[in-house]
Amino acid sequence: MELRELGRTGLKLSCIGFGASPLGNVFGTVSEEQANASVRLAFQSGINFFDTSPYYGGTLSEKVLGKALKALEAPRSSYVVATKCGRYKDGFDFSAERVTRSVEESLERLQLDYVDILQCHDIEFGSLDQIVNETIPALVKLKEAGKTRFIGITGLPLGIFSYVLDRVPPGTLDVVLSYCHYSVNDSSLGDLIPYLKAKGVGIINASPLSMGLLTHAGPPPWHPASPQLKSACEAAADHCKEKGKNISKLALQYSLLNKEISSVLVGMKSVEQVEENVAAARELANSGIDEEALSEVEAILKPVKNQSWPSGIQQS
């Protein structure tokens, strides 16, 4: 599995990262056995990056991931764990007091002494000025205290990243995690990459399958996309199926093509999905992407290209 540098952190992340939200049962029930086997196979296949949050499954994802990582009996330095703070099952709280307590709770659930990356989760739901003036300074203290090695921010609207990065001292933030903006149907993150690189932050792209839109099984019922976007993605998936091709493989490979992105986080809930996704990365490295299928899918998705959905509270 190809490793890519994460900004100036010195971390080398596998180009595919293990998104652990499915371990919180957000895409259907996953048994603990299945979770353990998926994490083990991912690690054995060269995936060294695991992302979770206290929000996923109301802390369940962190607990299940922590157990599965412990069961690996691998040196702590051989894998990178990212978790988040500020978003919980019962709502958002980006106060310094809450995020400081949050990391201690996460470490206990994950059975770890430190996490590698701690990120403010979905900051568009909070006051961005509080993020700048209160939350990030609290995270800097947690970094100094050794609870996390690096800090970052996550969210959907791309404007949040420049808002915050333009207002914190240079070098404060190590990482940004963007999702659903570097997939076949929406690649708008691409325009922001030169800016993010100039700011020296590492770039993580999550949800290459657009949270299930680019799968043959289709998205979960809670998916926020418009009916138009959902039906265009379904048409693209059906087209691939008719041609004997797999839309998820194509979509993941598309996201992996951009090497400015350090890791592409895919949510995985079974050994089969780990196998398929690892094989997709290997195939891409050996023989490149199926250009014909890609241009056909891009043509079907053209009317909805870069269409997103509202997220968060209006910032003044």
Q: CA 94, 79, 59, 265 torsion: positive or negative?
A: positive
Q: What residue ranges bind ligand NAD (CB under 6 A)?
A: 19-22, 27, 51, 121-122, 154-155, 177, 179, 206-212, 215, 248, 265-269, 273, 276-277
User: To which residue do tokens 């030169």 refer?
Assistant: 194
Q: CA 267, 271, 275, 278 torsion: positive or negative?
A: positive
* Least distance from ligand NAD to the Cβ atom of residue 4, Å: 16
* Least distance from ligand NAD to the Cβ atom of residue 149, Å: 18
Provide the CA 206 distance to its chain's centre, in angstroms.
Answer: 3
The closest residue (CB) to ligand NAD is 267
Pick 84 or 147: Cβ nearer ligand NAD = 84
Between CA 14 and CA 177 the distance in angstroms is 15
Pick 122 or 290: Cβ nearer ligand NAD = 122
User: To which residue do tokens 């890519």 refer?
Assistant: 4
Question: 34 φ, ψ to 5°?
Answer: -65, -40
Distance spanning both ends of the chain, measured CA to CA: 44
* Least distance from ligand NAD to the Cβ atom of residue 164, Å: 14
* Least distance from ligand NAD to the Cβ atom of residue 281, Å: 11
Pick 146 or 180: Cβ nearer ligand NAD = 180
Pick 144 or 249: Cβ nearer ligand NAD = 249
Of 102, 97, 95, 134, nearest in space to 118 by CA: 102
Residues assigned a catalytic role: 56
Extract the tokens encoding 315. 């910032």
